[in-house]
A = this chain, B = another copy of it.
Amino acid sequence: MEIEHDFIDKLIRLIQDKKSVVCMGLDPRLEGEGYIPKYLIDQYDDPNKIILEFNKTLIDNTHELIPVIKPQIAFYEKYDALNGLKETIKYAHKHDLLVILDSKRNDIGSTSEAYAYSTFQVYNADACTLNAYFGIDGIRPYLENYKEKGMFILVKTSNPSSRDFQNLFSIRLDEVSDVEYKIKKEYVELERNYIHMAKLVERWTEELPLFSGYSNLGIVVGATFPDELKIIRQITPASYMLIPGYGAQGGSASEIKYGFDKDGLGAIVNSSRNINYAYNQSKTFPPEKFGEAARKEIKTMNLQINKIR
């Protein structure tokens, strides 16, 4: 049955089964103190193997507590470890986890098709992040060829300089009169660029099938801007939110509560560093126990977030 293969449908089922909306980022880092433990790095010559071992241990320790993981492809590219990425995704699937490939690709036509193919057929991810600066031309190849997969479009990112561009006040030319245009202050707050991006996503969602009220076309909204998150939630009621920036970047549980609907659905909350390298922030866990440290951190997140959703 096709319905079972739809990303959002499966995500919601896993969220309900596991009572968790936590997404574990997988951002492997081989250099510097406090990242992948040295004993593991010394064990293999091939970064693919080091990274896969690290990820497997994290998955072994956490898969019952989370519905989804989000590997950040940049780190796998950096270490020439795309095979490690593929094997990680395979391993995650065996452990009843969905996989969002965080790659923020953006292009048009056959190039966009090629990116979609890599995401879903080479790496075998279940969902991905996308940047929609190109407009619908960059998203259509995904919606047309992989409509059962999940896509999360960048709307409001968690970083400070997201204001540089995303917070510009913007309107459509056809809304502008020839001579002058009255701007009320509330209107300005509602018409920044990130709002227009959310409105584009909302428009693209109109034709899509819904599962428990949500389509496969989601959005990315940083945990660090709670007011903006609240407004965006109202504009895009049918889009699941992927919320990064929890923990390491400063977002807390109270700041993301407006991401959830009355059933506690509507958002997943990502943390990468704080989970992957939790052992480094604790006195309880030696490097060898990084998996247990990650498990404990996720339990804490689940407690915090389930309380507010």
Contacts and interface: CB of A to CB of B under 8 A. Distances in A.
Interface of A: 27, 29, 72, 74-75, 77-78, 80, 82, 104-112, 114-115, 117-118, 122, 131-138, 154, 157-173, 176-183, 185, 188, 193, 196-197, 200
B178 A180 contact: no
A61 to B, nearest CB: 23
Max chain B C-beta neighbours (<10 A), residue from A75, A163, A169: A169
Given A169-B173, A193-B170, A131 B117 contact: no
A165 B108 contact: no
B72 A135 contact: no
Oligomeric state, in number of copies? 2
Max chain B C-beta neighbours (<10 A), residue from A105, A117, A168: A168
A170 B197 CA distance: 13
A159 B188 contact: no
Given A77-B114, A108-B157, A168-B172, A162 B180 contact: no
A169 B176 contact: yes
Contact of A135 (B104, B164, B169): B164
B115 A77 contact: yes
B78 A122 contact: yes
Contacts of A165: 132-135, 193, 196-197, 200
A163 to B, nearest CB: 7
B131 A106 contact: yes
A171 to B, nearest CB: 5
A92 to B, nearest CB: 20
B110 A29 contact: yes
Contact of A167 (B158, B161, B173): B173
Contacts of A118: 74, 77-78
Contact of A133 (B158, B160, B166, B173): B166
A79 to B, nearest CB: 8
Given A104-B105, A107-B74, A182-B180, A168 B171 contact: yes
Contacts of A177: 183
A108 B74 contact: no
28 contacts: A27-B110, A29-B110, A77-B115, A77-B118, A78-B114, A104-B106, A104-B131, A109-B159, A132-B164, A133-B154, A133-B157, A133-B166, A134-B161, A134-B162, A134-B164, A135-B161, A137-B159, A165-B193, A165-B197, A165-B200, A167-B173, A168-B171, A169-B170, A170-B170, A176-B183, A179-B182, A180-B180, A180-B182
Max chain B C-beta neighbours (<10 A), residue from A105, A160, A172: A105
